[in-house]
Amino acid sequence: MEQALAGIKVLDLTHYIAGPYCTKMLADYGAEVIKIEKPGGGDVARRMAPFLGDDPHPEKSGLFLYLNTNKRSITLNLKSKRGVLIFKELVKDSDILVENFSPRVMPDLGLDYENLERLNPRLIMTSISNFGQSGPYRDYRATEIVADAMGGWSTIIGHPDREPLKPGGNQAQFVAGLFGAVGTMGAFYGQEATGTGQHLDISIMDAVLYIQMNITSMYSYDQVIRKRYGNRVWPFPGGILPCKDGYIGAITVTAEKWPILCHWMGMPELIEDPRFLTANERSEHVDELDAIMISWLVQHDAEELFREAQKRGLPFGLPASTKMLLESRHLEERDYFVEVDHPVTGRIRYPGAQVKMGNLPYELKRAPLLGEHNEEVYRDQLGYSKNDLVKLREQGVI
């Protein structure tokens, strides 16, 4: 039985996080992904922490290893004329091309969509960039924190009287990468029926906005500017609060959970307490409510609170560290983490499948070494001889 995306040929010009996550989704579900890297250094993510043993070796970056599973790697210098010609040969044979350079790069190389479309009219080209391929901020610089701020994410995280917070990690970039995968699949599905390719323009700033629940609609409908509420799930009681051995997500979320919580805490008199009865009342007395809940929570461990809450139909959550995730019995029984072997790092556990495609096969094959598939692709696929390859290497083309 073949994987869902078997036979789809993807040419991967991406680097760092957003682009590679898009092509990782395609690769992990069966597409043949050829990753093009700069000769010498390769993908910049190879130089990003965390490294195995904190050794900054280009084959030991955990981020790179995770993002580039199931791909083949060739080196190619697009700044050379010969490199561009070879690239065009590869494009002719590809269904999909993904890139996440800043918007001037591909046109400056003569590799914008209009040019590539002539070579291959069925090509789906997906471009992921910070602010999109057009608009006043097109050439602006951005990093994760900038995308989080400008996309409307930071405005809703943090304590009301302190600076807004970015979400931990590199969320905006992963989100944009996943949108890249969704859009690319949609466009490819359409192309398989009509034969017409097209160009997808994905902006990381737009991506952050698209996943918002409703802050802009809330402003338009209610003239309310949604701001940050710290750890509260406003307007409901609770949030992440201290407990005996750490923190617990004392989540109630809907109004009918409140009496259940009061009974459990042994404080049934709170159910009808006017200070906590409506959303408006609670906003005024929220510190008092937190204090009452904390006084009870600090008598119990997080794990106990989580289990007991769930038994009572309360959607409490345990704020898990990475250690707790790796020790989770639930995740272990689901075989969520997958061990991947690698010639330089040995066996390491990686996060596994994002979706389970029924009975179709799934395998996490390791990320490629830099230029590992030069022979396979240039010789077997493009027909270059061994001598050709030696010359190309000497000329710095590969």
Do residues 133 and 107 lie in contact, with contact meaning Cβ atoms separated by under 8 Å?
Answer: no
Q: Which of 84, 115, 120, 152 binds other proteins (CB under 8 A)?
A: 152
Q: Which of 66, 87, 378, 384 binds other proteins (CB under 8 A)?
A: 66
Q: Which of 96, 314, 397, 398 binds other proteins (CB under 8 A)?
A: 314
Q: Which of 42, 58, 197, 371 binds other proteins (CB under 8 A)?
A: 197
Q: Is 17 exposed, middle or buried (0-12, 13-18, 19+ CB in 10 A)?
A: buried
**What does each C-alpha distance from 87 to 10, 123, 363, 383 come to in angstroms?**
13, 14, 29, 14
Q: Which of 85, 294, 357, 382 binds other proteins (CB under 8 A)?
A: 357
- CA angle at 149 for the pair 143 and 154, rounded to the nearest 5°: 125
Site string for other proteins, 272-311 (x = CB under 8 A): ------xxx-----------------------------x-
Listed ranges 73-81, 100-108, 290-298, 324-332: which one lies at the site for other proteins (CB under 8 A): 324-332
Site for other proteins in 111-150 (CB under 8 A): 113, 131-137, 140-143, 145-150
Q: Which of 177, 228, 172, 227 is nearest to 205 (CA)?
A: 172
381 touching other proteins, by CB under 8 A: no
Specify the residue, 68 or 77, whose C-beta has the smaller distance to other proteins.
Answer: 68
153 touching other proteins, by CB under 8 A: yes
- Cβ 374 to other proteins shortest distance, Å: 27
Instruction: Provide CB contacts within 8 A for 90, sequence distance 6+.
Output: 11, 34, 36, 382
Q: Which of 383, 389, 372 is nearest to 35 (CA)?
A: 372
CA distance 216 to 323: 37
Q: Which of 266, 359, 383, 386 binds other proteins (CB under 8 A)?
A: 359
- Cβ 31 to other proteins shortest distance, Å: 9
CA distance 256 to 239: 16
Please tell me whether residue 119 adopts helix, strand or coil conformation: helix
Which single residue is written with the structure tokens 């050379």?
A: 80
Site for other proteins in 4-33 (CB under 8 A): 4-6, 25, 29
Site for other proteins in 220-249 (CB under 8 A): 220-235, 239-240, 242, 247, 249
Specify the residue, 287 or 394, whose C-beta has the smaller distance to other proteins.
Answer: 287
Sequential DSSP letters for 360-392: S----PPPPPTTTTHIIIIIIIT---HHHHHHH
Listed ranges 33-41, 85-93, 196-204, 267-275: which one lies at the site for other proteins (CB under 8 A): 196-204
Please give the torsion angle defined by the CA atoms of residues 373, 374, 375 and 377, in that order, rounded to the nearest 10 degrees: 80
Q: Which of 215, 265, 267, 271 binds other proteins (CB under 8 A)?
A: 215
Site for other proteins in 167-186 (CB under 8 A): 167-171, 174-175, 178-183, 185-186
CA distance 314 to 259: 11
Specify the residue, 67 or 106, whose C-beta has the smaller distance to other proteins.
Answer: 67
Specify the residue, 291 or 357, whose C-beta has the smaller distance to other proteins.
Answer: 357
196 touching other proteins, by CB under 8 A: yes
